[in-house]
Amino acid sequence: MADFETAHEDAVEGTLTMFDRIIFRGYLSNLFPDGAFRRFLNANGVLLKDFDAFVAQTSTELKVHVEQMAAAAGRPYEYLDAASTSASGASKEERARAIATRDQLSAGLIGVFAVVEPCQSFRVQGNRATQKLVVTRKRRKCLHFYLYFLDAEFGFMHVRLQSWFPFDLQVYINGREWLAQRLSAQGLTFERYDNTFLHLADPAAAQALCDAFAHREWARVLDAFARKVNPKLALVESRGFGGYYWTIYQAEIATDVMFKDRASLLGVWPDLRQAALSAFSAEDVLRFLGRKLHGNFTGEVKSDLKKRPEGWRIKHGMKGNAIKMYDKFSVLRIETTINNAREFKVLKSTDDARRWVPMGKGVANFWRYHQVGRQANQRYLDALAQVPLKGEAVAELDSLCRRRRKDGKHYAKFNPVSAEDCALFAAVLAGEHTLNGFRNHDLVARLYQTVANSVAEAKQRCARVSRLIAKLRGHGLVAKVKDARLYRVTERGVRLMSAALAFRREDFPQAVHVA
């Protein structure tokens, strides 16, 4: 089975598999068990009746620290009324990028946005049954700080810090931002459009960097960001409650097939899009995502098509995970999004054996996320490699409708859907001609159902077929066998003449019937 890159080798100049958007979340998880946060308060000499004052002071100190970070860097600190930063619905990310462009920043803190959002936090309340104060965890709302950076290693990114205990953290990183930084540092040139690499000077070197990215010691990297923005982390650690436990909240693993130009992609994109939407079944989607359909499966598998300003998007979803296909200028992107990690498995070592277990969201499984996404994308591309490209056939059929000049000779045009020309195509493609080719008299026998009434008529038929064979040769549909009076059908001939016959016999009647 030919892979996608081989099937389209004339139009494709390389592929690149890497992480796209990654959202890490960090939790001070040792504060979560029952009684843990009360022990933390006791370690700090805080009575339950003084809880409100203690946490309010701590949050105020955290806010002052963030404001001082912005002031020290000479960057703005803005309070936002909502997640969108304007009536037009611009996101915080768009606002941060606009500020970086306006101020011509190349490194460091861009700015800080403060916004009230839902959170999980602690509160002290009375227990009627025991007549005592107890610590509980509740869904509440509190101030969150979004710190946007142009980082020396990761490029454009942000860190979101919850201002109330337990100070949950979110770190957003874009794999392509990181790769752009690395390629520039190594002097490897590239052409970039938005969040897409259109051309790479050394695709193999870029892929090696992306593979190494999947094996970073992410806990150390993320801890460094946590210490940078949260001065209260030291307090928690000093009381013996440890640091952040880091999880992968969401990860996108994309395989980009880089076509030579936009026209090359558009030549195959309509057929790929139609096949992905109509030909791929629910069972196919499960297979792409490494699952098998069985009687105990209770989830939902769905596919949908969406037209975006920059192109089309096909999305197949299954239990919170998805595999998508985009056109991004001259790049075909297949992207696996993992939200529900436990739908996949990872090989774990136990005391007595190694076995496959449901995958967790901890950053220790980051490499496995990359492996799962890469394999899913490859299975999807392998399926696309088998899609018949009607668009190419239509373009080539159009060429048959024009007169052709070859080696100084002129050849008349065909009408690929006319009864006369389709009868000729069917005669040429007859099964008995596959092995040894055909001669003039073989076509005569197929094109004329009755015996010639005279020698003169037989010669006229033979001469006409000779002209038709010359016309077929002129359009590259058949070729002469060397040192023999035989002709064989070329690959182009099989493709074009089969397409013409299929349209006349199947597609055209069906279209008329529907109309």
Write out pLDDT tens, residues 29-75.
999 999 999 999 999 999 999 999 999 999 999 999 999 999 999 99
Work out the pLDDT band at 353, boundaries 50, 70, 90: confident
Q: How far apart are CA 131 and CA 124, in angstroms?
A: 13
Contacts of 233 (CB under 8 A, 6+ apart): 28, 167, 226, 227, 243, 244
Residue 128 scores a pLDDT above 50? yes
At what angle are helices 455-474 and 419-428 packed, to 10 degrees? 90
CA–CA dist 377, 272 (Å, integer):
14
DSSP 414: P
3-state secondary structure of 117: strand
% of the chain exceeding 90 in pLDDT: 70
Question: In the predicted model, is pLDDT for residue 391 greater than 90?
Answer: no
Query: Predicted confidence band at 209 (pLDDT cuts at 50, 70, 90)?
Result: very high
> Which residue's structure tokens are 């969040």?
195
* Positions of E strands within 83-181: 108-127, 132-151, 155-162, 169-174
Domain-located, residue 28: no
Mean pLDDT along residues 288-308: 82
- Contact, 232 vs 167, CB < 8 A? yes
Strands 108-127 and 132-151: antiparallel
In SS3 terms, 29-73 reads as: HHHCCCCHHHHHHHHCCCCHHHHHHHHHHHHHHHHHHHHHHHHHH
- Residue 106 belongs to a domain: no
| pLDDT confidence of residue 2 | 56
* DSSP H helical ranges for 230-365: 233-238, 262-278, 282-288
CA distances from 444 to 423, 457, 501 (A): 12, 12, 19
pLDDT at 465 over 60: yes
pLDDT of 1 reads 41
Three-class secondary structure of residue 13 per DSSP: strand
Task: Please give the Cα distance from 292 to 287 (Å, whole number).
Answer: 6
Peptide bond into 166 cis (omega under 30): yes
At 134, is the pLDDT very low, low, confident or very high (cuts 50, 70, 90)? very high
Phi, psi (5° rounding) for residue 504? Answer: -70, -40
What is the pLDDT, as a whole number, of residue 498? 84
Whole-number average pLDDT of the chain = 91
pLDDT at 275: 87
Helix (H, G, I), strand (E, B) or coil at 293: coil
Q: Which residue has the higher pLDDT, 309 or 129?
A: 129
Q: What is the pLDDT of residue 85?
A: 57
Give the pLDDT of residue 375: 96
In DSSP terms, 254 is beta-bridged to: 18, 335
The answer to whether residue 406 scores a pLDDT higher than 90 is no
The first and second tokens of residue 426, run together, are 């069917």
Confidence of residue 274 (pLDDT cuts 50, 70, 90): confident
What percentage of the chain reaches a pLDDT higher than 70? 95
Q: Is the pLDDT of residue 326 over 50?
A: yes
Q: List the CATH number of the domain containing 429.
A: 1.10.10
Q: What is the pLDDT of residues 84-115, one digit of tens each?
A: 655 556 799 999 999 999 999 999 999 999 99
What's the half-sphere exposure (Cβ side, CA atoms, 13 Å) at 406? 13
Query: Between residues 25 and 194, which one has the greater pLDDT?
Result: 25
Q: Average pLDDT of 23-31? A: 97
Please tell me the distance from the alpha carbon of residue 189 to that of residue 512, in angstroms, as a whole number.
53
Q: How confident is the model at residue 129 (pLDDT cuts 50, 70, 90)?
A: confident
CB atoms within 10 A of CB 307: 8
Examine residue 354 and state whether it is found in any structural domain, yes or no.
no
Q: What is the pLDDT of residue 12?
A: 94
Q: Which domain holds residue 440?
A: 390-514
Buried/exposed 338-352: b ≥16 CB within 10 Å, e otherwise:
bbbbebbebeeeeee
Amino acid present at 418: S
What gap in Å lies between CA 160 and CA 24, rounded to an integer?
10
Stronger pLDDT, 41 or 302, i.e. the higher one: 41
The residue type of 223 is D
Asked if residue 505 has pLDDT above 90, the reply is: no
Residue 435 belongs to a domain: yes
Q: Looking at residue 230, what is its pLDDT?
A: 97
**How crowded is residue 194: how many other Cβ atoms within 10 Å of its Cβ?**
9
Instruction: Return the higher-pLDDT residue of 197 and 391.
Output: 197
Average pLDDT, integer, range 276-295: 85
195 within domain boundaries:
no
Number of domains in the chain: 1
Kindly state whether residue 459 falls inside one of the protein's structural domains. yes
433: DSSP letter: H
Q: State the Cα–Cα distance between residues 76 and 113, nearest whole angstrom.
A: 8
Contact assessment for residue 158 and residue 177, using Cβ atoms and an 8 Å cutoff: no
In a domain, 294, yes or no: no
Q: Is 362 inside a domain boundary? A: no
Q: What is the pLDDT of residue 89?
A: 66
> How many CA atoms, within 13 angstroms, populate the side-chain half-sphere of residue 60?
6
The Cα–Cα gap between 282 and 289 comes to: 11
What pLDDT band is residue 234 in, cutting at 50, 70 and 90?
Answer: very high
Stretch among 16-20, 31-35, 248-252, 404-408 having the lowest mean pLDDT? 404-408
Q: Which pLDDT score is estimated for 43?
A: 96
